[in-house]
Amino acid sequence: MDPIQPDKPTSEVTFAASSPVLSPAILACASLVLALAILRASSFVPDGPSLYIRLFSLVIAFFLRRKSTSHGNALLVVGPPDAGKTALLSMLVYKQTLPTQASMQTNSSILFLDGCKPMTVIDVPGHPRIRDQFKEHILNAKAVLFVVDASTVSRNGPAVAEYLHRVLSSITSLPPSHTPPSLVILAHKADLLKVGSVASGDAYQLAVNRVRTVLERELEKRRAAKSGAVDMEGLGDGGADNDDAGAGLGGLECSGPSGGVFRFAEWEGGEITFVGSNVKLWERLDVGDEKTGGGKGVSSLVDWLVALP
Ligand SMILES: Nc1nc2c(ncn2[C@@H]2O[C@H](COP(=O)(O)OP(=O)(O)O)[C@@H](O)[C@H]2O)c(=O)[nH]1
Ligand SMILES: [Mg+2]
């Protein structure tokens, strides 16, 4: 892992490249085999490989069963390029923001928050060639954070919705026995919105309203297109690197008073929470520091993370 180097004024914020983590199943098996070897050496356990094989299968079966019914402990951070994912994670994990640079690899780090268990945070770059790597981690995700730049979403709505559609489709494609991850859509960079006559304290609400309205509209267009009502053209599927247009994807099913029209509140895949946020370059997260107000822009997100089941 490339640690942040706060002393270097132009240092980049990077996170450790994803590394194979020893899974609990492997650790459990190794400990079991070791324990048996010790016991056998002290002649407590009969000789022969069959006992090892049976115990090994039992442990594997236990973990496979467990995996299929519950989620892991990862926070999966996805969203279009330049939405602010890495800056946000820098604030959460390292309590400060430094200049970032576009990454072409999935990075991970450990997030410690007061009041909850440490979480592995996985930052998946939004570049079309690699963004689908989020699927490799979805089974292990406790929560998915979809980060949207609220200041540009009106312009980029179709492309953002196309990526979100992939995420929703992945969540609804999980086995029914698997607890789906909680999903939060982050209306980020709220500081860049012109709040006009609205009190400045409402910038987060404005960001949330904008992101929700644009994405709901675009996802509804996608749902209608899928059901044959309109063409998929112009719905964000046209990127050169986009080899898997979203036309065939499911995941937008809704049930409720709107009669199947896409509404976040009526999404069949589960509850979707919207949170407004922003971070400032060179800001430090000094929790409780009322003078600087450090970290105020991520406080609602932190509250949501701490309250996760
Ligand atoms: N104004 C503003 N800029 C932000 C915010 N969050 C991130 N940025 C800037 O947006 C740019 C892209 O951020 P980055 O974290 O690299 O985006 P990523 O591609 O989604 O990881 C950087 O120049 C950040 O400093 C924010 O809340 N407000
Ligand atoms: Mg990044």
Nearest CA to ligand 1 atom 14: 84
**pLDDT at site 207:** 96
Query: What is the rounded CA–CA span in Å between residue 97 and residue 89?
Result: 9
Q: Which ligand is nearest to the CA of 147?
A: 1
> 2 pLDDT band (50/70/90 cuts)?
very low
107 lines ligand 1 (CB under 6 A): no
pLDDT band for position 20 (50/70/90)? Answer: very low
C-alpha to C-alpha distances, 121 to 89, 141, 203, 233, 301, nearest whole angstrom: 8, 9, 27, 35, 14
Which residue's entry shows tokens 């409780």? 288
Can you tell me the distance from the alpha carbon of 271 to that of 205, in angstroms, rounded to the nearest whole number? 19
Closest residue CA from atom 3 of ligand 1: 189
Residue 255 has pLDDT above 80, yes or no: yes
| Whole-number Å distance between alpha carbons of 161 and 79 | 10
- CATH code of domain 71-306: 3.40.50.300
Please name the residue ranges forming H helices in 118-270: 153-172, 203-226
Give dist(CA 141, CA 78) in Å, integer: 12
281 lines ligand 1 (CB under 6 A): yes
Instruction: Dump pLDDT digits (tens) for 97-110.
Output: 788 888 889 999 99
**Tens digits of residue pLDDT in 24-52:** 555 555 666 666 666 565 555 555 556 66
C-beta of 282 in contact with ligand 1 (< 6 A): no
pLDDT of residue 201: 56
Cα 241 to chain centroid distance, Å, stands at: 22
What residue spans define the domains of the chain? 24-67, 71-306
Mutate to test the pocket of ligand 1, among 4, 11, 86 (most ligand atoms within 8 A of CB): 86
The mean predicted confidence, pLDDT, of the chain is 79
CA distance 176 to 120: 24
Which one has a higher pLDDT value, 50 or 207? 207
Average pLDDT of the residues in 81-109: 89
What's the gap in Å between 180 CA and the centre of ligand 2? 25
